[in-house]
Every structure is written in structure tokens, then in C-alpha cells.
Copies of this chain bind each other. A is one copy, B any other.
Amino acid sequence: MSDPFVVIGGDAAGLSAASKFTRAQSDRDVVVFERGRWVSYAHCGTPYYVKGEVERLTDLLSLSPEAAAERGIDLRREHEVVAVDTDAETVTVEHDGETFEQPYGDLLVATGAHAVTAPIDGFDRDMAFTMHGLDSAAAVRAALADPDEPAVDTGIDYVDADLVDHYAAMAPPERVAIVGGGYVGVEMAEAFRAHGLETHVFQRGGHLLSPFGESVCERVADHLRDQGVELHVNCSVEELAGGDSVDAVVYDGGRVPVDLALVGIGVAPNTGLLEDTPVELGPSDAVSVDDYGRTTVDGVYAAGDCAEDDHTVTGEPVWVPLGLTANRAGRAIGQTVAGDPEPVGDVAGTAVVKAFELEAGRVGIIDHDDVRDAGFDPVTTSITAGSRSGYYPGNEETTVSLTADRESGRVLGGSIVGRDRAAIRIDTLATALSSDLTVAELERLDLAYAPPFSPVWDPILVAAKVLRGELE
């Protein structure tokens, strides 16, 4: 088999696979086609670039094209794969107006996801953004800066200089809207407030960060209000109104004047390329894969934000487009294709977010409808305990929610929120879920205790103790 390992998409999953493959295998080539100019960047860092805590866009690059080349990866940027033929085992590539066929031995589809803006009208106006990709981050940061003091270096190879120049020339906004109260919305609220902007967040449902469960949502909402963010909950945005440029957000029953609108209502997997192939999608409309990232077609793999994974708790396929999952699955597939099969791993739905001074984490299945759909009988408890010994400076109220199955006592999911080292504590629960621990087993864990870091009974142990009482 002398045809190369072909990877579609040069971000986390694609380049992790290519890197691992070149380290493990030197006989076959690996070719990565990336339709854009950016490769392997830290998507999760873009809010902090807009905020100004990360100075240069290039700080967000994990692996430069030059470093990829040094690793022996044939990385072709601005090469768009426009068709896949799984019978002929070729992909059709467009570059610079030309089209060519590339045969593959193995194929990895790592096409990622795209930001959704429908059904909101008016997204084509100036000063309407999503936060997806470094070009949109560059555009937003340029838009926030004073035209006399450009904030974005357009001299670097990758950036869309026309887009940046366009926004850099415009007067900076004073009032901004964020449509959608998920991670992106919460992180961007922090970024915009750091620039002193009047900041409105519009949330269609009643809760920000709804996958984190009610106790987190409430504390985050209160904290955002304390930080001067205007929250509009149960509020469906219909249009970003204006002329050339956005000048208001229009929703059912109201209108708020703004100078910039950022839409963060979700992402969807990029699977259009597979439409005419026998590669099957799963229940989430992302690509269905097995434990090794193999699709339903021989020699074709999928990983990252375009693919499903199995859930640690339910064992069922889910679509959780996050960074570690993409890196890990890509790496495993690179190893598998190189001849040493490695499972891509499950996802526990672990997620953490910083909301100004507050930290939150979640893992597993929390929503009671989801829990019942998975065949469990949910019991949830929430407790608030100290992050440190009560007498030690810096002790902060930490709220832990735990959900378990009533019959088996198995821990199914949980969340945590607080100001002091709260988020990272979710890793304890993620590890417990991977091992199918019961609430009683969780309660008996020998967790760390020292006054500066934890009270005698860590908040997670307190939650387990209380939940166990409710299970009996």
C-alpha cells in the first residue's frame, strides 16, 4: 500500500494524526489538505485574544506550518478537498483555481465544525461576527480597537488582512450584543467588559450554560450581572438590524441598540463533503465511528469536531466537539493507521469555563431527561461547601451538584462552580465516571486535605455524603 495517508483538515485532529503517523511510520507519506491558511490553532484561546490577555494571534498556533514540515508532514494550506470517492479511493482537491485528484491509502476526515447563525437574520451586515477561527477573532479585535491604534498585526502570513483592515478602519463600538449564552457567550462577555463596553447577552432559554445544570447557571448569571453584563433570558433574537452595519438586536417584543453583534448559538459538524459517499452519519449528524475512529467505509476515519464519540457513562455515540477529544482521537488514528491500533477513547462530556472571576465545570449526564433516556433513575443533590478550610484566607463557597442512579447508586454526572480552584476539581468526577464509581465509593475517596487547598471534607466528598443519604 504505497498511496499516502490523506488527512482532510489541518487543525487539532488532523495534525495530531499526521504528527503521530510520521513518528510511527516512515515508509508512507502523509498529506494534509487544509482549505484555509491557519492550521493547528487554539480555538479556545480566541476570547482571550479579543480580551487582550493574549497579545498576538500567532501565540495561538500550536504547530506552525514550518514545524509541521520539519516533522515530515506534507501540509498543503489553501487546498480544499471538494469531493471524496471511496470506491476509487481518491479525493478531489481545489487549489488556486486548479483541481486535481489525490489517491489515498487511508483517509482521515477531520473537517471540523462551523458556527451556526440561522435562523437569525441580518448576519451579513458589517459588525456581525461569530467567534470561530482566528480570522473572526482578528476581525473582532480589529473592530474593538481605535482606528488610530491598530490592534492586529496584518503583516503575518496567515491572517485575512482585507477583513482586518476593513474593521480596523471603522469606529470602535460602545455597545455590543452577544447572542447565545454558552461558553463562547460567557467568555466573550468577559472579553467585551474588559474593553469597557456596554454588553448585552441574549439567551433563548431560561439559563446560560445550560449543559452545566441549574446550580452553575444561577451562580454564573448572578456573577455576570455583578460584572455589569445585561442579561436577556428567554429572549429569542430574530434579527441583527441596521443598514450596512448592525445597529440593533431585534427580538420577540423588543429591540436593543448595539454597534456590534457576536453570534454564538452553536456549531454544526462539517459533513457536506461526505453527502454523496457511503460514509454514514450518526444520530447527531456527525460522522459515526467505532472505537478506533473508523467510519462505516473501510480505510476511512473521522475525528475531531466532525465526528461522534462514545459517551463514558452511556456507551452511546454523542457529539461533543471539544479540543482534547479532537487531539486524542487524531493521535490515536495516526497510530492506528501506522499499524499499531489504539482506541480513540470515550468522552465524559467534561467541560470547564471561566466566567470573569468564577470557574465552572461539568461532566457526565446531568439533565434528568437525558438521564432517563439513558435508562437510569436520576437523583440529584447540590451542596455548597468551602474551597479551603473556613479559617484560611481565600476560602470561597463552592457549589457541587451530583447526579446518580437511584437503583445502582452509580454516579452519572456532576457540576461544580466557585471562585477558588473550582473548575479543575471536575477532573476528580471525570475520573470517577470513567471507573463507574458509586456514590458510596466516591464518598470514601482519599482526597487531598490541607487548609490552603481544601477543607477536611472536600466539597465533592460533602456532595457524595449528602447524595448518599438521599439514596438510602
Q: Which residues of A does B touch, CB under 8 Å?
A: 12, 42, 44-45, 48, 53-54, 59-60, 62, 312, 322-325, 327-328, 343, 345-354, 359, 361, 363, 389, 391-393, 421, 423-428, 430-432, 434-435, 437, 441, 444-454, 456-458, 460
Contacts and interface: CB of A to CB of B under 8 A. Distances in A.
Residue of A345, A350, A363, A451 contacting most chain B CB atoms (<10 Å): A451
A324 B458 CA distance: 9
A461 B363 CA distance: 17
A445 B347 CA distance: 8
A446 B427 CA distance: 8
Contacts of A432: 431, 435
A78 B359 CA distance: 46
A342 B74 CA distance: 61
A310 to B, nearest CB: 11
A323 B456 contact: yes
Nearest to A447: B427
A389 B42 contact: yes
Nearest to A312: B446
Given A353-B450, A446-B345, A427 B458 contact: yes
Contact of A445 (B322, B327, B430, B454): B430
Given A354-B452, A421-B421, A457 B59 contact: no
Contacts of A424: 421, 424-425, 448, 453-454
Contact of A324 (B353, B449, B452): B449
A451 B53 CA distance: 11
Residue of A60, A448, A452 contacting most chain B CB atoms (<10 Å): A448
Given A53-B392, A453-B354, A435 B446 contact: no
A437 B432 CA distance: 11
B59 A347 contact: no
B350 A53 contact: no
Given A428-B427, A428-B428, A441-B434, A446 B44 contact: no
Contact of A437 (B425, B435, B453): B435
A271 B451 CA distance: 28
Nearest to A351: B448
Given A425-B424, A451-B44, A346 B391 contact: no
A272 B432 CA distance: 40
Contacts of A434: 435, 437, 441, 444-446
A87 to B, nearest CB: 34
A425 B427 contact: yes
B352 A450 contact: yes
A442 to B, nearest CB: 8
A324 B449 CA distance: 7
Contact of A389 (B45, B427, B437): B45
A389 B54 CA distance: 11
B428 A352 contact: no
Given A60-B391, A391-B54, A427-B425, A328 B44 contact: no
B60 A448 contact: no
Given A350-B446, A354-B452, 19 more contacts: A44-B389, A45-B392, A53-B393, A54-B392, A59-B391, A327-B456, A327-B457, A345-B444, A350-B447, A359-B452, A363-B446, A424-B425, A427-B427, A427-B448, A431-B435, A434-B435, A434-B444, A435-B435, A435-B437
